Amino acid sequence: MAKTYKTSETVDFIVVGSGASGGIMARELAQAGHSVIVMEQGPRMGAHEFEHDELKYRNLSGITNNPAVSPQTFRKDPSETAKRMSGRNPLTYARVVGGSSAHFNANFWRLHEIDFIEGSKWGPIEGASLVDWPITYAELEPYYTKVEWEVGVSGLAGASPFDPWRSKPYPMPPLPVKSSGVLFERGARKLGLHPFPSPMAINSVMYRGRPPCAQCGLCGGFACEVMAKSSSVWTMIPEAEATGRCEVRSDSYVFRIGMNKAGRATGVHYFDKNKVEHFQNAKAVVVCANGSETPKLLLNSATNAQPEGLANSSGKVGRYLMFNKGGGAMARFENPLNEYKGANVTRILHDFYDSDPKRGFYGGGGFDARSGGPLTWGQSVPKGTPSWGPGFKEYLESYTYWMNCSGHGTSLAQETNRVDIDPELKDAWGVPAMRVTYKDHPDDIKHAKWQVERAVEIMDAAGAKQIVPGEVGEASGGVHLLGTCRMGNDPATSVIDKYHRTHDVKNLFLCDGSSMVTSGRGQPTLTIEALAFRAAEHISRFAKANAI
């Protein structure tokens, strides 16, 4: 029987968010002996409730923030008035116990050593704020390993010549290769590149009481009905609850952090399932709500003493929003690949990971072979293909012959790219809504176009019969929500310190994509989880030393 607490009780920690970082934070703090309540906006769903329903999950906000009730506004430039977008939000995340770890594709790349020191290596870059992290790869490496072993990642250590060093191999062998992986590997090897089995947070064998992947083919956007995907809801959350000290309170939407006159957090204000307001007392608050909800919560928690938002003396809360810009190509082959079967990605390459001044711009990334669900794929056609009639029908019949070669890359941090609060718009709970301001840095666009050219080369070398280069447009949203409460040593230029404590509020900690200083090259979840293990260790240490 999972523990439940009364709102009048003062727990040691409230963790806001049950996703990639929140689940780990809860388990680590609870296992260390602390009382913990995890507050989750969304419902708790059982594995059997997740369907193979592409319409629901891709078009009807089945488990994601629904623009109808959780609207956001968007603009490219601070001089514009932000507006709602037709039928969608700029920033998307899962709103369910497990958070976005419930619906991710489960690509689990470590950052490389270079990611932590690019400010020194390549900065400054005009228009960007490219700075070093306050921690290094070496400091995070033990926690990457901890994620791989305790959450569960499959892969082949040492396969890529470009991999950073590691202290242990993956606990599980790689997933079986798909046709897209074979073709990607064939093309890349012909070009002298080094494709290798993709590390995935998906069980390839029975591991920690969860079964191997059923190869149903529906990972990205879907939650795993067999619990083979290493989502918080199947991994960390049950282990947190098993301590008898952790309550996961679902359908609980935290909208303001309570503060006292001494400048300490006292708990959280939240709405329950019936939109009834409550206040939960706590000794400390750890916000793991994602790179959009975390800054929104801080900005909506302004007090007389902190009128610009909580923990925002630097003015950096919500700033430096980053996605992962990239470019790729779609390719058709002579025989069926059947990409609708099997885990989404089975081969990647990191030959172009580092930025290279010879290219004439900053940026680096990785490539993978992947597929799209049929319903999404069928919505558009390559240039020159009829969009209706017999020609379109013929195109539809070619679905199983296609694959994607996708590039995933850097987005530069820019101060003007941000999440803040819309001056007018409110959500269905009456809470002031997010306003998103975002414009790609010119180098991000150049790098994405460069990636399209490389993807075309790889698919050509693989023997594709038809290649459709991706179009590189200006970003108007994303799902990798990074950088908005960046960590740093200087309270004037960052929101949290290297232990994830806010510079301004001693008992308020933040840990999620918002903590990241640079974007990495896509696939940020492993890093977010490693940060969470590391942060939890320090936060627990502080608590035990009475230093919170």
Partner 1 sequence: MEHASPSRRQFLTAVGNLASASWVALNWPSIAAAAPAEHAHAGHAMADGAAPPTSFTTLNPLEAADVDAIADLIVPGGAKPGARAAGVPYFIDNALGSFFKDQLTAFRQGLAEFQAGFARQAGVSTPFAKAAPDQQTAYLGQVEKTPFFQAVRRLTVLGLLALPKYGGNRDNIGWTLIGVEDNHYWEPPFGYYDKDYPGFQPYPGTKPYTA
Q: Which residues bind partner 1 (CB under 8 A)?
A: 46-48, 51-55, 59-60, 68, 156-161, 168-174, 176-179, 181-183, 194, 196-197, 206, 209-212, 214-217, 225-227, 333, 335-342, 374-375, 378-379, 387-390, 392-393, 396-397, 399-400
Burial of 491 (0-12, 13-18, 19+ CB in 10 A): middle
Least distance between partner 1 and beta carbon 74 (Å): 19
In the complex with partner 1, the residue whose CB is nearer, 70 or 160, is 160
In the complex with partner 1, the residue whose CB is nearer, 136 or 387, is 387
φ, ψ (nearest 5 deg) of residue 429: -100, 0
| Bond preceding residue 124 cis, omega within 30 of 0 | yes
Least distance between partner 1 and beta carbon 15 (Å): 24
Least distance between partner 1 and beta carbon 248 (Å): 17
In the complex with partner 1, the residue whose CB is nearer, 173 or 423, is 173
The secondary structure element, H or E, covering residue 14 is strand 11-16
d(CA 326, CA 324): 6
In the complex with partner 1, the residue whose CB is nearer, 339 or 529, is 339
In the complex with partner 1, the residue whose CB is nearer, 123 or 176, is 176
CA–CA–CA angle 8, 11, 15 (5° rounding): 115
Q: Which two structure tokens, joined as six digits, stand for 119?
A: 């400010």
Least distance between partner 1 and beta carbon 243 (Å): 17
In the complex with partner 1, the residue whose CB is nearer, 133 or 401, is 401
DSSP assignment of 508-532:
EEE-SGGG-SS-BTB--HHHHHHHH
In the complex with partner 1, the residue whose CB is nearer, 48 or 358, is 48
In the complex with partner 1, the residue whose CB is nearer, 242 or 305, is 242
- Mapped to the 3 state alphabet, what secondary structure does 171-198 carry? CECCCCCCHHHHHHHHHHHHCCCCCEEC
d(CA 93, CA 99): 7
Q: Which two structure tokens, joined as six digits, stand for 413?
A: 């941090």
Of 308, 314, 310, residue with least CA distance to 264 = 310
In the complex with partner 1, the residue whose CB is nearer, 126 or 397, is 397
* SS3 assignment, position 458: helix
In the complex with partner 1, the residue whose CB is nearer, 53 or 139, is 53
Least distance between partner 1 and beta carbon 72 (Å): 17
Least distance between partner 1 and beta carbon 64 (Å): 14
Of 94, 110, 91, residue with least CA distance to 102 = 94
Least distance between partner 1 and beta carbon 393 (Å): 5
Contact status, residue 213 vs residue 175, Cβ threshold 8 Å:
yes
In the complex with partner 1, the residue whose CB is nearer, 139 or 225, is 225
* SS3 assignment, position 299: helix
Least distance between partner 1 and beta carbon 101 (Å): 18
d(CA 357, CA 442): 15
Least distance between partner 1 and beta carbon 194 (Å): 6
Least distance between partner 1 and beta carbon 371 (Å): 10
Least distance between partner 1 and beta carbon 193 (Å): 10
CA dihedral 48, 51, 332, 345 (to 10 degrees): -40
Q: Which two structure tokens, joined as six digits, stand for 26?
A: 């809860």
d(CA 385, CA 214): 35
DSSP assignment of 23-62:
HHHHHHHHHTT--EEEE-SS----GGG----HIIIIIS-S
